[in-house]
Structure 1
Amino acid sequence: MGPEGRHAIVIGGGASGVLLAFQLLKTNPSDLRVTLIEKRPEIGRGLAYHAGNPEHLLNVRVTNMSALPDDPEHFWNWLCAQPAGPLCPDPYCFVPRHAYGDYLADLIAPLRSRDGTQGLTVVRGECAAIRENPSDVAVTLADGTCITGSTAILATGHDAAAPLLAGHAEPWASPADAGIDTNATVLILGTGLSMVDYVLSLLRYGHQGRIVAMSRRGLLPRAHRRVDPMRFAESEIPFGAEIGPLLRWFRRRIELHVAAGGDWRGAIDAIRPFTQRLWQELPLSSRRRFLEHARAWWDVHRHRTAPEVEARIGEALAVGRLTVIAGKLATVTPDAGGALVRYRRRGQAETSELQVGAIIDCTGIVRDPGASTNPAVRSLLDEGRARIDPLRIGIDVTPDCAIVNRNGSPSRRLYAVGPLTRAAFWEIIAVPDIRQQCAELATRLRGRDS
């Protein structure tokens, strides 16, 4: 394909890619076409919204999950228009993850091109390499196909973990598909939202064995509540402060809010509009300290579960179906029954043993881009067209989402959106943040002359 007119190539067809493609094409520009490259058979689902366990609920309320920043009721209205109805009583509820995948697919469907000359073309395949030339970009797929365009945008989402070790099972597949013995002890690494989803899957598939979840601190996600909103005045927020004074200020504000009858959730929600600026103005040493010491606490308060999910997990804990351990793996020795695991509890020197039938790594996504198995990301890093940020949590991008090369120069044709840009924006893994980022980048790209 040649780059006649303007041609944006979006690499990744999960939520980030679909939201960007929609924003680029929503005004039906005649001089812009978009090619969306996705290796999965369906677009809009990615790791987060694939059709799986119906008990896997969104961890953000319907009212905050609109794909459109300027139309907050869009998702709710779509739900209300479905044959089965909205699935829940009002926009402050939580619906199954797969429903959001259906929503994104419907959002993008009217934009698909009939002849490939304008609108959206979806190409099923895996991007193997990206090359930036003076007048265009060339994207090569794993099958050798080459697509050229005027810009390329990485929207690869969360990078799934590297090849599995002995005894490990795939966290994104169902326990039945993974062949997990229903009577075996299952060890889940991580105690966040992915762990919660996997426990629900195990229970749904009739698992009878012990479920053990382990993380460094043993913290579980808190749950959502309907709370009165709180407001921060921008002038009262200590932008640019070191992390210590900043967190002390924030804790004090939460204490005052709770003392006045409020809920801590209101304070967390109120700081959300400012978190990207707070992150960007934090000194590098403070960012590092936050990641090491405070991130886990922030995550369990910020990324919350639906109340009905909290109830299921609470029940599993109460009856002993689920055990949570604060500790760290020491060794994993494969054996006939799965693996013998040695671990060290937090604050203890001696190790404990646990015989497990399977190990599920729910510590989340690959956080170090240097460990990425995504060939598109790898090609950019290997050829110096991208570089890893100093904290190794993402690739370097400018505030305008342009990818920065090995020499520190921003590209004019290569961009990135979504979780890959967390080094620059930090809060960029949830739809409310990504939809805004995609809308702003699309506006810039639509306005360019080249």
Structure 2
Amino acid sequence: MTGARGRQVLIVGGGASGVMLAYQLLHQPSRTAATRDLRVTLIEQRPDIGRGIAYHTGNPDHLLNVRVANMSALPDQPDHFWRWLTSRSTDAPVCPDPYCFVPRRIYGDYIASLLEQQISDPSDAERLSIVRGTCVEINEGPAGVSAVLDDGQSLFGDTVVLATGHDMRASRAAFADPWTPPSAAPIDPDATVLLLGTGLTMVDYVLSLLRDGHRGPIVAMSRRGLLAKPHRRTDAQRIEEADVPFGAGISSLLRWLRSRIERTTAEGGDWRSVIDGLRPYTQRLWQELPQASKRRFLEHARAWWDVHRHRMAPEVEARVTQVILARQLTLLAAKVISIAPDNDGARVHYRRRGDARIHSMQVGAVVDCTGIVKDPRATPNPAVRSLFDRDLARVDPLCIGIETDRDCAIIRRDGAVSRRLFAVGPLTRAAFWEIIAIPDIRNQCAALAARLADSEGEPHAEPRQERAEV
């Protein structure tokens, strides 16, 4: 596909990951003719770009769970979001300093603004195309790649990058959709509502219930019943790379981390500063963790890590605490045994953690807030499914993502690493683990954009082989 019109990159997904990657590709230094002629097509099924699952919410109570200071989309301009926010202070909520937390819908506006110049400037219009539709099929051949849309249209290019974000579970009978307002279900405001999961998605839905005037009991259930911790005004601790036990097993690593936290708190510090100070090393820690330790982490330590690592805004914590103290919200460490829909909602049987007895409750609605699809093979996303169907991708040994190398290239079923198919964001968590937050994804997008811009002619090379990790 390389020729007079330059190289073409197709990005499947126009949420935050896709927009950041498109921006980086279009702003690469024009070192070569290939870089200057690089064109981007962004494929998005929603009416607006930059939203995705996370930022399409219109609920002003849904706040970012990362402070403004850390939410720049551009790694070389850490205050970019803060400057954008203050430049439009008449439209945005009051944000006294970069340590505040703003509504996620505002952040969606910010992400969309990254491509405003390319959309409005006729001189840039030829370099960026935005196509509305759902990608249902991806093909790779010796001459290039193609993306087929649900309307039958085929788009051709040199490279495809999957930036589809989180794959959400397909809706199930008797379950309300956690991503739509409760009033759309509709849910009886006096009924008991069961929320499966106690993470940040559950917190969002509680806030949605309260905004819609829900008066009945809310029960949030997960295996451990853990609630996300709140943010506090603390700075990341400086942790020297030489002090981090890379390559150690999960037990040794957790002992080291707990010891560091205990030492910090004994000196009057905050555990959050240690967790945040470890952030520059988390991807390397994951990559060098023995495979057996990765499995143990996912089974036994992941929930503990998640509630400390992915925290609530202080304003959200205050609201959730208020509802808990009022006994409207109950957190339950338990496992669902069965859910039987009936005329009044559903009868739920469950077993409390550490208790062999089976209990039951009648609820008016059940909402699955456990979030993302854990096994990529269960994805409802037709583009990802087409890769599996054509042996162009495979699931990693832990079944948490599609397998990619550290350059974000997708690994085919036969172990060959594609030179044309790539992925960014949560799809790549098998290789990077910490790749669901903007500070991590923006770095990934910048690195991939630089690689694609510098790889003139490379997509035509024979695919290399990579030994599968076992």
- TM-score exceeds 0.5: yes
The 5-angstrom pairing of residues 132-143 of structure 1 reads 132-143=140-151
The answer to whether the Cα contact below 8 Å between 2:118 and 2:125 also exists between their aligned partners in 1 is: no
1:64 maps to 70
Q: Residue 18 of structure 1 aligns to which amino acid in structure 2?
A: V
The 5-angstrom pairing of residues 135-154 of structure 1 reads 135-154=143-162
2:427 maps to 420
1:129 maps to 137
Q: Deviations over 1:340-377 (max 9, x none)?
A: 00111001111111111111111011111010010000
1:23 maps to 24
The 5-angstrom pairing of residues 250-399 of structure 1 reads 250-399=257-406
Residue 25 of structure 1: CA displacement? 0.5
Q: Deviations over 1:20-52 (max 9, x none)?
A: 001000248530110000111111000000132
* Separation of aligned partners in 2, 1:229 and 1:163: 39
Identity of aligned residues (%): 61
SS in 1 for 2:116: helix
Q: Which runs of 5+ in 1 are unaligned?
A: none
Residue 448 of structure 1: CA displacement? 1.5
After superposition, the Cα gap between the structure-2 partners of 1:198 and 1:424, relative to the gap in structure 1 and judged at 3 Å, is same
* Separation of aligned partners in 2, 1:86 and 1:313: 21
Among candidates 137, 160, 163, match of residue 168 of structure 2: 160
The answer to whether the Cα contact below 8 Å between 1:228 and 1:262 also exists between their aligned partners in 2 is: no
2:460 maps to none
Residue 114 of structure 1: CA displacement? 4.6
Q: Deviations over 1:148-190 (max 9, x none)?
A: 001000000000112312x210000001112111111100000
The answer to whether the Cα contact below 8 Å between 1:12 and 1:157 also exists between their aligned partners in 2 is: yes
1:222 maps to 229
Q: How many residues are aligned here?
A: 449
The answer to whether the Cα contact below 8 Å between 2:118 and 2:124 also exists between their aligned partners in 1 is: no
1:406 maps to 413
The answer to whether the Cα contact below 8 Å between 1:10 and 1:17 also exists between their aligned partners in 2 is: yes
SS in 2 for 1:47: helix
Residue 118 of structure 1: CA displacement? 2.5
Residue 108 of structure 1: CA displacement? 1.3
TM-score, length basis structure 2: 0.93
Q: Residue 200 of structure 1 aligns to which amino acid in structure 2?
A: L
After superposition, the Cα gap between the structure-2 partners of 1:219 and 1:411, relative to the gap in structure 1 and judged at 3 Å, is same
Residue 115 of structure 1: CA displacement? 8.8
SS in 2 for 1:176: helix
Cα-Cα RMSD: 1.4
Q: Residue 301 of structure 1 aligns to which amino acid in structure 2?
A: H
Q: Residue 155 of structure 1 aligns to which amino acid in structure 2?
A: A
* Separation of aligned partners in 1, 2:319 and 2:171: 31
Residue 85 of structure 1: CA displacement? 4.8
* Separation of aligned partners in 2, 1:199 and 1:85: 24
* Separation of aligned partners in 1, 2:82 and 2:72: 8
2:466 maps to none
* Separation of aligned partners in 1, 2:315 and 2:368: 24
Q: Residue 193 of structure 1 aligns to which amino acid in structure 2?
A: L
Counterpart check, 1:39 vs 2:45: yes
* Separation of aligned partners in 1, 2:123 and 2:351: 60
Q: Which runs of 5+ in 2 are unaligned?
A: 458-470
Q: Which segments of structure 1 move beyond 3 Å, counting only runs of 4 or more?
A: 1-4, 27-30, 113-117
* Separation of aligned partners in 2, 1:138 and 1:117: 21
1:7 maps to 8
